[in-house]
């Protein structure tokens, strides 16, 4: 699976252009990533330089995935039962709708090809991806556990 970039600039550059991140903050984030590993978006958020929503919006700009805030979003029990909770938690994703053979999934990292392939194998559905924030997704996974 190949993703079409709508904007060739790296995430940090887009955040700087939007006035969310300074050059100094980007340099510190990249240094932290080099030392500790991890996703640059998560590092930027953990360092307090940007909000999760900022990162999600930039993914939308970079790759054209629509951003979907999950606040006040009702997810049916039937849709959620298509993917085991352990898989949802592991990949930080949640199914939000199914129309015929297309399953719509909100993901924190829409570039995770392994997650998409695993969900396709599990559900035998075509996957439509939306971007959401990790905290929104985790909150909804917890709400689903209580159903």
The domain locations on the chain are 11-63, 77-145
Q: How confident is the model at residue 9 (pLDDT cuts 50, 70, 90)?
A: confident
Report pLDDT for 7.
55
Mean pLDDT value across residues 95-124:
93
Displacement of CA 58 from its chain's centroid (Å): 11
Q: How confident is the model at residue 60 (pLDDT cuts 50, 70, 90)?
A: confident
Mean pLDDT value across residues 39-49:
92
Cβ partners under 8 Å of residue 96, min gap 6 = 68, 70, 73, 75, 79, 104, 105, 106, 130
The percent of residues in the chain predicted with pLDDT above 70, rounded, is 93
Distance separating alpha carbons of residues 47 and 70, to the nearest angstrom:
24
Q: Which of 127, 60, 57, 142 is nearest to 96 (CA)?
A: 127
Options 1.10.760.10, 3.10.20.30, 3.30.300.160, 2.60.40.10; CATH for 77-145 is 3.30.300.160
Q: Is the confidence at residue 90, as pLDDT, over 90?
A: yes
Mean pLDDT value across residues 27-39:
93
Q: Is the confidence at residue 91, as pLDDT, over 50?
A: yes
């Amino acid at each position: 699976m190949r993703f079409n970039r709508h904007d060739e600039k790296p995430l940090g550059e887009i955040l700087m252009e939007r006035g969310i991140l300074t050059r100094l903050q980007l340099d510190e984030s990249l240094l932290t990533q080099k030392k500790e590993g991890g996703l640059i978006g998560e590092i930027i958020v953990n360092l307090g330089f940007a909000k999760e929503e900022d990162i999600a919006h930039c993914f939308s700009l970079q790759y054209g995935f629509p951003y979907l805030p999950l606040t006040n979003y009702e997810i049916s029990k039937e849709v959620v039962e298509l993917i085991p909770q352990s898989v949802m938690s592991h990949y930080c994703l949640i199914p939000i709708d199914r129309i015929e053979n297309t399953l719509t999934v909100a993901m924190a990292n829409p570039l995770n090809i392994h997650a998409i392939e695993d969900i396709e194998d599990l559900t035998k559905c075509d996957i439509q991806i939306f971007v959401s924030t990790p905290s929104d997704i985790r909150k909804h996974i917890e709400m689903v556990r209580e159903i």
